[in-house]
Amino acid sequence: MLAYITGIVLFALAILISVSLHEFGHMLTAKGFGMKVTRYFVGFGPTLWSFHKGETEYGVKGIPLGGFVKIVGMTPLEEDEEDLDEKDKQRVFWRKPLWQRTIVLAAGSVTHFIIGFIALWILVAFVGVTQNPAYAEQVTESEQNARVAVAPCVESTDTAAAAGDCPEGQIEGPAYAAGIEDGDAITSVGGTAVTDWESLVATVSGLTPDQPVAVTVDSDGTEKTTEVVPYAATVETEDGKTETVARLGVFVYTDPSIAPTVAVGPIDGIGETFSTTGDMFKETFIALGQLPSKIPPLWDAIMGGERDADSPVSVVGASRLGGEMVQYDQWAMFFMLLVVLNYFIGIFNLLPLLPMDGGHIAIAWYEKARSWVAARRGRPDPGRVDYMKLMPLTYAVIVLLGGFMLLTITADIVNPITIFN
């Protein structure tokens, strides 16, 4: 349990650091171009501690859910140029060249990409990775036999049976407790021969939970029989209903010889990291396009239905997964999840919608194009976009994102995704 809590804290802290570095990217580039930066804070709400260095106030606030940087003149709603002297008026954001403003606005996402790339390069070069954990699928060849991976802990309402370091609401996996190991092939259950994954599921589903059963496995050519006590698991049927069946606490085994985890070294790791990053970007865009279709299943999961393993997760759910990864000593998965998260945030933040940075970039380029067209027609420069006219659309985006975030947080609390089932 201590390792699980430590993992949650570490992952949440890593997210906070990533977001803080996102804002630092904005600040660093803004200062580099001579823009006037007045505030840089980690967190929101009441100020816990701060200090001034030059013209900028740095500090920490009481709610550690992000951070912000104040660049004077970033939007008309934030302007207060009357109090500036003539020298500083030339330093406000909107007076700077378009290319400089674009770099400053994109710097937050670029920071996430840099964090993700460096972490991924370290994994690829020195640790070795298989597939992206956010999109990986079980290797279908493993389903041609009954080779299994073993879950140390499984979801259960029988809290009295909790054992070991299992999180709250989980018990020690029956197969794990019986000494069955990853890669073992189950050949019979209760005297019934098992030849593949489907026959294993069918045979085990017919057992009675909490009643011991003899399970025979082939472990590297050595056959052994052990007694396993199945637990009661709730599964969803094809018609959308749920039923309680027996389970051993195993899942399809992914053969490491099919997807080897080989560290390729620092030089080859660069090319491999670029390749893997390209795949992740592609999958991220696909995931973004599929987000609307994920909302009904999320609602069903909140109402008691089965939670899809590929459903969206909130910061709460990601932190819980991080906690499980630390608990089971899966540090490579822990850092890979951080890579996925940083890439996703970086891409999502560049969408051309307010209040994301991509929305501000789109407006800046629209202003430039509109001014160019006006000049070609001999008309006066129409000036800056009226942000007040865009506020209804901005609020609509905020409401939609807030509702989606609330939905994922609720699902992650009442029906969380876990590594082992």
Q: How far apart are CA 260 and CA 114, in angstroms?
A: 26
Residue in 23, 155, 172, 367 annotated catalytic = 23
223 is catalytic: no
- Active site residue ranges: 23
